[in-house]
C-alpha cells in the first residue's frame, strides 16, 4: 500500500559493486533422466554439501553445484580464494536488520529489499540466500532477536512472504529459518523446546505457515534445537507432517549449518540436504542403511530429487538477466531505514526547527551501530554516518528550509565498549549547552547482540545512560536516538523531548536519521515488538535463557503483547506504537463479507462515535452463532489514529453475516489531517467478546500501511481470513 517515499538522495552514494562472478552458462536438465542414471552412491552424495557453501555436483551427468550464502539483511558472502574465508566477506549493501525492517509494517518495502538482495545474489553468483528468519521473540533477551522480524506471527509471516517473493523474483532461492521454536541462543545445539500444541500452532508456527503458504520459499532450514524432545532436523512431525503434509511445502529442507546430528534419523524424518559438506560419513551411513534395508531407498530418491529440483530452479533462475544497481540499493537502504524508524516520544521538538544548531553527541554519530554479530553480518560496501549527513544538510542551499544550522560533535563514549569518562561527559555537556538542540546517539555495544549467546539484561551501557542524563540537564531540547536490535530500559525516559528508535539501520543509517530528524523524510515505523519498562516486567524475568535441557514454554502463547495485554501490565511502549509528524482521521468503517452476505441493517457505518483514539474496539459474538439466520460474526475491529496504547474496550454494533463467510473485508477511510506528508499504519486486532476464554485479549489479524499528503483521504481495505473468526477454543479449526 505504500511507499511514496520522500524523494531524498543519499549523500556519498558512490558505491562499490559486488564483484560479478564469471558468467556460467544457464542450463537446466531433465531431472527424471538424471534420476534414472544415478547410482545409489551418487544419490547419497547429493544429500550433503560439496563444501561449506556449495551443493555436490555430478559433472558426468551434467549436474552442477549451486551456491548458498547468508542473508537476510544483505548478502554475506565469504571471500578468499576458495570462497570460504569468513574473515573476508565480500562487500554488499547492508540493509536494516529484520528487527528494524519489521517496524516498517510494509510488505512492499520488504519485497523491494528482498529483490535488491536477490539482484546482488545474482551478480555475485549466489543461488540461495539463507533467510528470512521468523522465529518469535520469546524474551527480549534472545541473542538473535535482531535477526527475527516480530513478536507477532501474522506480521512476521506476511513480511517474510513478501521478502521471499522479492528475492525469488530474481531467480534466487530463499531459506526460511530457523524451523522451529529456536528461542534462545544458550545451548542452542542441544536445548529442547517443550511447547504445548495451542502455542505451537497458533503462535510459534504461524509465521512459518504464512511464509510457506504465501511466499513459497524454495528451502526451509530446520533449527539446531530440539522440539518436544526431538531435534528439528530429525523431527518427522515438524518436517514431513506439519510442513509438507498440512501446509503443502514442496521445497527442500536444508539443515542449519552443523545442525544435523543423527546420520540415520534425519532423512527418514524429512531432511533433504545436510550442510555444510563434505560429509563422507553421512553419505556412507545412509548408503549402508539403504543396503541393510533400514532406510527405504525411496526416501533417498525423494531427497535427491528435491536437491535436483532446487538445482534446476536455480539454473533456470540464472537465465533471468539481472544486474544489481548498487546506487539504487543504497537509496533503498536509506528509504528502508526511514520507513523503519519509530518515533517513540515527541513533544513537538521534531522535526527540528529550521536552521537549529545541533550538538551531535555519542560516538555512534561517527561509527554507527547498524547490525548484530554472526552469520547475518554484512560487510557494507558503503557506510555513512549521522555526522557527515548532518554536515551535508547544513551545507544545503539557502532556500532549503530544512537545512540545519551549525553542527558540533562530542564523542560522549567509546563506541567499542560503551565506556565513558568525566572528560567525555563534560565535553558532551558543553556541546549540548552551546547548541539549540542536542541529539544524543546511544545503543547497545557492538557485541551485545549476537548469534551464539543471549543478552544478559536490557540495560544500555552505564556510560550511555549517564550521557543522556547529563545532556538533558545541559539542554532541555534533547533528542535521543536509539541504535539497538531490541528493547532497552530507559531510566531517563521522561527527560528528553523526543526519543527515536532507529534500530540497527544498516549502511545508510546516517542519511536516514538526518532526513527524519530534519523533516526531509518522516518516521514510518511502528513497533513490531513490545518495549517493557524493565526486564522484571517480562514473564521470563530471571529464567531466560533457560539453562535446563528441557525448556518448558509454560507461558504458552502468552508472549509479547499477548502476555502484557492479558495481565494488564504497563509497558514502556506497546506493540504497534509509533508517533507521526502528522495526524490522521478514520471515517466510514464498512464491512463486507467475501463468500457470504451481510445483512444490510447489521452495521451502522456512519456511526463512528465509538471510535476514539487509542481505543480498543472489540467484538466477537460468540453467543450469536446459532442465530436462526445462520452463522453470525462480530466485527473485530480496532482502529488506531496515531499510536496504540492502553484504552478502554468499547462495544461495537455487531455485524451479522449469513451463509458461508470465508473472509471479511474491512474498509475504512483514512485522512491525513495534519500539515505534512506522512505514513499511517492501520492495525486490526481481533478479540473475544466473552470474558474468560483461554486466549489472548487481542491479536493482530490485519494491517496496512499508506502514505498520505496533507488533506488526502484514501480507503484502506483489509481482508480478515476466516481463521480470525474461529473461536479461540476451537483449536482444531484454527489449525486447519
Ligand atoms: C546459522 C544460520 C546460518 C548458517 C550459515 C548458522 O550458524 O544459525 O542462520 O545461515 O550458520 O552461516
The predicted pLDDT at position 607 comes to: 38
Task: Please state, rounded to an integer, the average pLDDT across all residues of the chain.
Answer: 87
CA 287 – ligand 1 centroid, Å: 27
Q: Is 600 exposed, middle or buried (0-12, 13-18, 19+ CB in 10 A)?
A: exposed
Locate all alpha helices (DSSP H) within 277-405, ordered by sequence: 280-292, 297-319, 326-340, 386-394
What pLDDT is stored for residue 690 in this prediction? 67
Q: Does residue 53 line the site of ligand 1, with CB under 6 A? A: no
Q: Give 375 Cα–ligand 1 centroid separation in angstroms.
A: 6
pTM over 0.85: yes
Which of 658, 648, 674, 665 is closest to 704 using CA atoms?
665
Strand order across the beta sheet in which 663-672 lies: 584-594, 663-672, 713-721
Residues 6+ positions from 157 with CB-CB distance below 8 Å? 134, 206, 207, 208, 209, 210, 211, 214
- The model's pLDDT over 429-442, given as tens digits with 9 standing for 90+, comes to 999 999 999 999 99
Cα–Cα distance measured from residue 104 to residue 102, given in angstroms and rounded to the nearest whole number: 5
* CA 699 to chain CA mean position, Å: 18
Of the two residues 363 and 720, the one the predictor is more confident about is: 363
Set of cell numbers at residue 467 = 550521557
Cβ atoms of 513 and 340 closer than 8 Å: no
Q: State the Cα–Cα distance between residues 220 and 177, nearest whole angstrom.
A: 6
Q: What pLDDT is recorded for position 689?
A: 66
Distance 625 CA to ligand 1 centre (A): 48
Grid coordinates given for 380: 557494507
Cβ of 188 less than 6 Å from ligand 1: no
Q: How far is 486 from 573, CA to CA, in rounded Å?
A: 12
The neighbour count for residue 718, using CB atoms within 10 Å, is 18
Q: How confident is the model at residue 693 (pLDDT cuts 50, 70, 90)?
A: confident
Ligand 1 site, residue 179, Cβ cutoff 6 A: no
Which of 184, 374, 376, 378 to probe ligand 1 with, by most ligand atoms within 8 A of CB? 374
pLDDT at res. 686 = 83
For ligand 1, what atom is nearest to the CA of residue 175?
A: 10
Q: State whether the beta carbon of 375 lies less than 6 angstroms from ligand 1.
A: yes
What is the 590 CA–ligand 1 centroid distance (Å)?
Answer: 46
* CA-nearest residue, atom 8 of ligand 1: 256
* Cell numbers at 345, concatenated: 516520544
| pLDDT at residue 369, as a whole number | 96
Pairing of strands 498-501, 478-483: parallel
Query: Could you report the per-residue pLDDT of 230-259, keeping only the tens digit for each?
Result: 999 999 999 999 999 999 999 999 999 999
**CA atoms of 710 and 430, how far apart (whole Å):** 39
User: What pLDDT, in 10s, does the model give residues 289-330?
Assistant: 999 999 999 999 999 999 999 999 999 999 888 889 999 999
CA 685 from centroid of its chain's CA atoms:
19
- Alpha-carbon span 147 to 371, nearest angstrom: 9
Between 18 and 257, the more confident residue is 257
Task: Provide the annotated active-site residues.
Answer: 256
Q: What spacing in Å lies between the alpha carbon of 711 and ligand 1's midpoint?
A: 48
Ligand 1 pocket check for 177: Cβ under 6 Å: yes
Nearest to 225 by CA among 177, 259, 175: 259
Given this model, what pLDDT does residue 230 score?
97
Q: What atom of ligand 1 comes closest to residue 188's alpha carbon?
A: 8
Give one DSSP letter per residue of 215-257, joined into a string: I--SEEEE-SSEETTEEGGG-HIIIIIIIIIIT---SEEBPPT
Q: How many CA atoms lie within 13 A of 302 on its CB side?
A: 17
Lowest mean pLDDT among 30-39, 78-87, 623-632, 659-668: 623-632
At 530-555, the pLDDT tens digits run 999 999 999 999 999 999 999 999 99
Residue 675 pLDDT class (50, 70, 90 cuts): very high
Residue whose CA is at the smallest distance from ligand 1 atom 6: 257
Do the beta carbons of residue 474 and residue 467 sit within 8 Å? no
The DSSP output letter for 201 is: I
DSSP code at position 364: G
Report the DSSP beta bridge partners of residue 68.
128
Amino acid at each position: 500500500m505504500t511507499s511514496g517515499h520522500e524523494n531524498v538522495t543519499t549523500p556519498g552514494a558512490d558505491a562499490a559493486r559486488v564483484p560479478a562472478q564469471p558468467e556460467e552458462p544457464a542450463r537446466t536438465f531433465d531431472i527424471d533422466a538424471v534420476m534414472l542414471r544415478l547410482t545409489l552412491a551418487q544419490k547419497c552424495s547429493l544429500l550433503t554439501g560439496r563444501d561449506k557453501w556449495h551443493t555436490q555436483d555430478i559433472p558426468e551427468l551434467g549436474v552442477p553445484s549451486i551456491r548458498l550464502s547468508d542473508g537476510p539483511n544483505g548478502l554475506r558472502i565469504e571471500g578468499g580464494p576458495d570462497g570460504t574465508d569468513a574473515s573476508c566477506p565480500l562487500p554488499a549493501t547492508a540493509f536494516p536488520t529484520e528487527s528494524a525492517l519489521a517496524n516498517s509494517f510494509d510488505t512492499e518495502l520488504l519485497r523491494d529489499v528482498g529483490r535488491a538482495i536477490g539482484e546482488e545474489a545474482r551478480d555475485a553468483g549466489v543461488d540461495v540466500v539463507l533467510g528470512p528468519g521468523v522465529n518469535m521473540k520469546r524474551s527480549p533477551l534472545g541473542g538473535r532477536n535482531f535477526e527475527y522480524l516480530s513478536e507477532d506471527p501474522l506480521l512476521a509471516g506476511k513480511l517474510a512472504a513478501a521478502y521471499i517473493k522479492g528475492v525469488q523474483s530474481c531467480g534466487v532461492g530463499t531459506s526460511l529459518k530457523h524451523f522451529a521454536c529456536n528461542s534462545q541462543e544458550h545451548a542452542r545445539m542441544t536445548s529442547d523446546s517443550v511447547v504445548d500444541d495451542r502455542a505451537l500452532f497458533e503462535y510459534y508456527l504461524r509465521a512459518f505457515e504464512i511464509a510457506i503458504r504465501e511466499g513459497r520459499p524454495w528451502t526451509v532450514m530446520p533449527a539446531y534445537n530440539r522440539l518436544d524432545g526431538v531435534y528439528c532436523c530429525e523431527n518427522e512431525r515438524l518436517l514431513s507432517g506439519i510442513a509438507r503434509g498440512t501446509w503443502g511445502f514442496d521445497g527442500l529442507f536444508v539443515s542449519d549449518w552443523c545442525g544435523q546430528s543423527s546420520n540415520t534419523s534425519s532423512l527418514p524424518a524429512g531432511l533433504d540436504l545436510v550442510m555444510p559438506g563434505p560429509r563422507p560419513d553421512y553419505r556412507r551411513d545412509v548408503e549402508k542403511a539403504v543396503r541393510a534395508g533400514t532406510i527405504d531407498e525411496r526416501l533417498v530418491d525423494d531427497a535427491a530429487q528435491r536437491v535436483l529440483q532446487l538445482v534446476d530452479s536455480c539454473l533456470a533462475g540464472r537465465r533471468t538477466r539481472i544486474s544489481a544497481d548498487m546506487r539504487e540499493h543504497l537509496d533503498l537502504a536509506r528509504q528502508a531505514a526511514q520507513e523503519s524508524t519509530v518515533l517513540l516520544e515527541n513533544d513537538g521538538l521534531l522535526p527540528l526547527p529550521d536552521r537549529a544548531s545541533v550538538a551531535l553527541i555519542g560516538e555512534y554519530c561517527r561509527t554507527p551501530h547498524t547490525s548484530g554479530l554472526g552469520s547475518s553480518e554484512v560487510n557494507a560496501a558503503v557506510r555513512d554516518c549521522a555526522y557527515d549527513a548532518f554536515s551535508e544538510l547544513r551545507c544545503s542551499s539557502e532556500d532549503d528550509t530544512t537545512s540545519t544550522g551549525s553542527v558540533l560533535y562530542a564523542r560522549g563514549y567509546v563506541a567499542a565498549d560503551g565506556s565513558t569518562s568525566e572528560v567525555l561527559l563534560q565535553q558532551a555537556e558543553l556541546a549540548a549547552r552551546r547548541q539549540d538542540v542536542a541529539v544524543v546517539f546511544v545503543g547497545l555495544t557492538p557485541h551485545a547482540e549476537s548469534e551464539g549467546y543471549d543478552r544478559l539484561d536490557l540495560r544500555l551501557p552505564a556510560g550511555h545512560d549517564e550521557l543522556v542524563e547529563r545532556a538533558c540537564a545541559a539542554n532541555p531540547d534533547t533528542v535521543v536516538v536509539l541504535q539497538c536490535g531490541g528493547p532497552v530500559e530507559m531510566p531517563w525516559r521522561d527527560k528528553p523531548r523526543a526519543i527515536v528508535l532507529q534500530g540497527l539501520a544498516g549502511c545508510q543509517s546516517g542519511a536516514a536519521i538526518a532526513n527524519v530528524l530534519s523533516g526531509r523524510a518522516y518516521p514510518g515505523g511502528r513497533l513490531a515488538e513490545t518495549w517493557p519498562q524493565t526486564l522484571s516486567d517480562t514473564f521470563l524475568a530471571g529464567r531466560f535463557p533457560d539453562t535446563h535441557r528441557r525448556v518448558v514454554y509454560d507461558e504458552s502463547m502468552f508472549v509479547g503483547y499477548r502476555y502484557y495485554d492479558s495481565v494488564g501490565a504497563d509497558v514502556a511502549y506497546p506493540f504497534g506504537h509509533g508517533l507521526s509528524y502528522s495526524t490522521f482521521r478514520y471515517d466510514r468503517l464498512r464491512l463486507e463479507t467475501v463468500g457470504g452476505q451481510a445483512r444490510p441493517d447489521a452495521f451502522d457505518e456512519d456511526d463512528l462515535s465509538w471510535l476514539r483514539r487509542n481505543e480498543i474496539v472489540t467484538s466477537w459474538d460468540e453467543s450469536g452463532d446459532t442465530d436462526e439466520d445462520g452463522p453470525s460474526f462480530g466485527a473485530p475491529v480496532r482502529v488506531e489514529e496515531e499510536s496504540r496504547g492502553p484504552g478502554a474496550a468499547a462495544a461495537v454494533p455487531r455485524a451479522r453475516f449469513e451463509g458461508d463467510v470465508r473472509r471479511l473485508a474491512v474498509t475504512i477511510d483514512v485522512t491525513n489531517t495534519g500539515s505534512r506528508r506522512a505514513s499511517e499504519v492501520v492495525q486490526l486486532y481481533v478479540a473475544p467478546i466473552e470474558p474468560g476464554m483461554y486466549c489472548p485479549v487481542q491479536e493482530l489479524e490485519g494491517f496496512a500501511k499508506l502514505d498520505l499528503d496533507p488533506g488526502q483521504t484514501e480507503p484502506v481495505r483489509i481482508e480478515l481470513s476466516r481463521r480470525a473468526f474461529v473461536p479461540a477454543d476451537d483449536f482444531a479449526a484454527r489449525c486447519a
